[in-house]
Every structure is written in C-alpha cells, then in structure tokens.
Amino acid sequence: MEWSRLDTVVCDIDGVVVIGDQSVPGARAALEKLRAAGLTVLFITNNSTKTREMVADRIDRIVGYRTGAATIITSGWATGLFIKGEVSCAYVLGSDGLRATLRETGVAQTSDWQEADAVVVGLDFEVTYRKLVEAALAVQNGARLYATNTDASYPSPEGLYPGAGALVSVIETATGTEAVPCGKPNPPMRQLLDDFVAGPAMMVGDRPETDIALGKAEGWVTALVLTGVTRTLREVDASYAPDMVLDSIAGLPERLGL
C-alpha cells in the first residue's frame, strides 16, 4: 500500500486519542500533523453516550484538537438513522446523549415499555434493575431489540468497565432474543460511511473485533494502537490482523512519512 495515496484517516476515540478523561500523549500533535498534510481526519466511536457535538467538544477539551460535529460518527447516530423508518416508538436504555442523538435522527421515544415497538440499548452509567426490567418487558411484548454497540467493555484509567455489550447481554439472556447490533463493524454503521469516505482510507483503532474488522470490511488500511484494550499483538485473532501496529497514535505521522 502506498501510504502517500491515503486521503482519509478514520480514528476510533476511546483507547486511541483519549483514555477516560485523559489525552493519549502526543495525540494532538499527531492529529494536527495529519490534517496539515491534507488528510481528512474523521472520528468514529461505538460510544453512544454522547451527541456528535458533545464528542467533538470532548476531543477539543481533553486532547486539545479542535474539530466539529461534522467529523464525528457515533453508534447512536448510526442506530437512529437505521431504525427511524422501521419503528414508531423506542424505549431507550441509555444516556441522555443517546436520547438526544435519537431525537436528532427523528426517532420518537417513550418511557412506557408497553407503547414501545423498539428497544434501543446503549451504555448507561445510571442503569438500574428497573430499567433492565422494562427493556426486557418491552421485548417480550414484541418490541425489536437494537444495540448501539456490543463492546463488552469500556476502557478507563482504573481498568475495563462493563460496556454496552454487557448491558445488551442482560436483556438478551433474560428474553432469549438477540439484538441487532448497529455500531462498528456492523451494516448500520457501514451504510453511513459512504457519505464520509470516498478515497483510500486508513482505520486506526485499539479493538480488533470492531475497529480492525470495520477497516477490513471497508477495504481500508488498518492500524492497531496499543494504548487501549489491546496490549500486545499476540492477543489479536489472526482474522483481525492489522496492516500496521503502533505503540500509540503519536507515531502515526512518522510511519506515514509525514
């Protein structure tokens, strides 16, 4: 692959440019160098807790890299665009940011599980047993089950927190119903990418089964960074083998000859 012919770099966020509320060292300089070289830098996240605007602000605040909502692709947004024509009213187990994102995409919502014809599950830092009960009841009542993403965990400086996938599993286990996954590397997320990425692209991520899988499915060059959930290449299943391994995104410009 001729690196000089890339025109887009698509970066995962958690574990790649930020860890919890800290920047990955050198992330800002690397991103600015990519942009200065004329590359389009996009961010794609399975984290559904925030709106696109909130994600752009978070990158600005933590990393110090200024960008706008137009460069941000989230699993919540992909979920909303995917289900808006298919469902009339969703029960949401997720954050306020997910609710706002679904509103932006035109998905009506209800807090009454009996009215819902869809259940959307995302990461919810305020999950309660009652919310899990209501989501499960809605599914038993015939509502379709969607997962913004199925990431098992969420990296923090303390270690791995349970991710949206862990919450989705609770509903799946209780109801015997499998959720439709909407985030990386699944079709609802991939359908969006045609509008963002035209030419040769690179995917930079820390999670092989979502980030590297997405990059491979799209035919992009893939780079695995070791600042997030993956600590060594030995942990990576052969089917997700990346084209490039980097200790950190800080080293990417040099690897691209920039």
> Which span (67-75, 118-126, 201-209, 237-245) binds Mg ion, by CB under 5 A?
201-209
Q: How far is the CB of 83 from Mg ion (least distance, A)?
A: 24
Per the DSSP assignment, residues forming a β-bridge with 10 are 42, 203
Residue number with the smallest Cβ distance to Mg ion: 15
Tell me, rounded to whole angstroms, the distance of Cα 63 from its chain centroid.
18
Size of the site for Mg ion (CB under 5 A): 6
- Rounded Cα–Cα distance for residues 242 and 236 (Å): 9
Site string for Mg ion, 18-37 (x = CB under 5 A): --------------------
What ranges in the chain are assigned the alpha helix state H? 27-36, 52-58, 75-83, 96-104, 129-140, 164-175, 187-193, 213-218, 252-255
The two three-digit tokens of residue 160, written as one number: 């791995």
> Which span (36-44, 160-168, 203-211, 237-245) binds Mg ion, by CB under 5 A?
203-211
Q: Which of 216, 219, 258, 220 is nearest to 241 (CA)?
A: 216
The two three-digit tokens of residue 64, written as one number: 């110090």
Given 124, 134, 172, 206, the residue binding Mg ion (CB under 5 A): 206
- Rounded Cα–Cα distance for residues 256 and 34 (Å): 9
Whether 98 contacts 76, CB under 8 Å: yes
Contact between 15 and Mg ion (CB under 5 A)?
Answer: yes
The two three-digit tokens of residue 120, written as one number: 């959307």
Active-site residue flag, 12: yes
Site string for Mg ion, 126-165 (x = CB under 5 A): ----------------------------------------
Contact between 12 and Mg ion (CB under 5 A)?
Answer: yes
Q: How far is the CB of 46 from Mg ion (least distance, A)?
A: 7
Q: How far is the CB of 243 from Mg ion (least distance, A)?
A: 18
Tell me, rounded to whole angstroms, the distance of Cα 184 from its chain centroid.
6
Given 9, 10, 14, 181, the residue binding Mg ion (CB under 5 A): 14
- Binding residues (CB under 5 A) for Mg ion: these are 12, 14-15, 206-207, 228
Show which residues are catalytic.
Answer: 12, 14
